[in-house]
Amino acid sequence: MASASRDLQGADVFDEAVRGTCDDASLCKRYAVSIGYWKDPYIEYFVRQPKERKAPEISRGYYARVQGVGHLLKAFLQKTECNCQIINLGAGMDTLFWKLKDENLLPRKYFEIDFPSIVTRKIHNIKSKPPLSKPIAESHSGESLLIDAHSLDSSRYAIIGADLRELPKLEENLKKCNMDPRLPTLLMAECVLIYMTREHSAALLKWAAGIFRDAMFINYEQVNMADRFGQIMIDNLQSRQCNLVGVEDCRSLETQKERFLLHGWETANAVDMVKVYTGLPAADLKRIEALEFLDERELLEQLMQHYCLCWATKDSCHLGLAEIAL
């Protein structure tokens, strides 16, 4: 009994550290936006401007990630003509819903999942800030919009507090918010799966492949983690009590793809962020590289070699999802 309670405390501490990664991501995004890397008029409502400056390598890395994920996401919306749903797993303070609405690209419904404490914070911000709450009300039609401290369900946007390791509950919550397994579905996970054990993330990928007939999964996270630089990244996070328990699947681009192909997905692609970054339009690169002076390119390259974008598809209705490329 005593040891069970010790284990539970250990798990709680670890989950708390994982939840803390949400703030890191939002702070980095807010900083990069304030320098002018990309536009996001909503991030300021979720996180304060960081006091310290962030290294340009970090902001350039975030820029490549936002562009890469955005490209794949828009290709999916185009193939499905927005007649689809998006499920953002471990969404943190992501502002994608508002940006898609501004661009007139909302799917039929956009769902976000995160731990209940993160969701409560997000909903608190939404409730208290009209630039966030107004677009939700505007896109809503039909029955009354449900918004309390722990969940939000409108006709186009739902935020669900759930643990991605508890799939039956997750599915039940999604269904309560009118998730429709027959609709083409885009699942996204940005720096999330690595915080789950291999067994838990495999179960999640398998569940998604089982429930949706037509789907795409975009996964952004670490790769090439078996080398020295990877070990430094692991040690850094460990010193903050944050274990990268899913690191095994982040050994290479091959292991990243394999996990999808082994668990019910028909196609899988993976590229490291060096490839994503160098493939960006020359004019964009020129613009962002003029924003801040970068001392040495080596660190930027090392960082980008250790992150990747992986996307997998299954496509019973022949929507052409397998053709989606960067």
Q: Which residues bind ligand SAM (CB under 6 A)?
A: 18-19, 21-22, 25, 90-92, 94, 113-115, 118, 163-165, 190-192, 195-196
Q: Taking the complex as a whole, how short is the minimal distance between the CB of residue 114 and ligand SAM, in angstroms?
A: 5
Q: Taking the complex as a whole, how short is the minimal distance between the CB of residue 170 and ligand SAM, in angstroms?
A: 9
Helix (H, G, I), strand (E, B), or coil: what is residue 314? strand
**Phi, psi of 321, rounded to the nearest 5 degrees:** -65, -30
Q: In the bound complex, which residue of the shown chain has the CB atom lying closest to ligand SAM?
A: 90
Closest to ligand SAM by CB, 93 vs 319, is 93
Q: d(Cα 212, Cα 206) in Å, to the nearest integer?
A: 10
Neighbouring C-beta atoms of residue 147, cutoff 10 Å = 17
Closest to ligand SAM by CB, 74 vs 140, is 74
Closest to ligand SAM by CB, 24 vs 301, is 24
Q: Does an H or E element contain 176, and which?
A: helix 167-176
51 neighbors 26 (Cβ within 8 angstroms): no
Q: Taking the complex as a whole, how short is the minimal distance between the CB of residue 293 and ligand SAM, in angstroms?
A: 26
Nearest to 90 by CA among 214, 220, 1: 220
Q: d(Cα 196, Cα 79) in Å, to the nearest integer?
A: 31
From residue 36, alpha-carbon distances to 77, 272, 279 in Å are 26, 24, 20
Alpha-carbon radius of gyration of the chain: 19
**Chain centroid, CA 49 distance in Å:** 21
Closest to ligand SAM by CB, 140 vs 207, is 207
Q: Taking the complex as a whole, how short is the minimal distance between the CB of residue 222 and ligand SAM, in angstroms?
A: 11
Closest to ligand SAM by CB, 196 vs 304, is 196
Q: Taking the complex as a whole, how short is the minimal distance between the CB of residue 80 and ligand SAM, in angstroms?
A: 22
Tokens of 187: 């699942």
Tokens of 284: 């964009």
Neighbouring C-beta atoms of residue 305, cutoff 10 Å = 17
Q: Taking the complex as a whole, how short is the minimal distance between the CB of residue 315 and ligand SAM, in angstroms?
A: 25
Q: d(Cα 143, Cα 152) in Å, to the nearest integer?
A: 13
Closest to ligand SAM by CB, 116 vs 155, is 116
Q: Taking the complex as a whole, how short is the minimal distance between the CB of residue 142 and ligand SAM, in angstroms?
A: 28
Closest to ligand SAM by CB, 94 vs 214, is 94
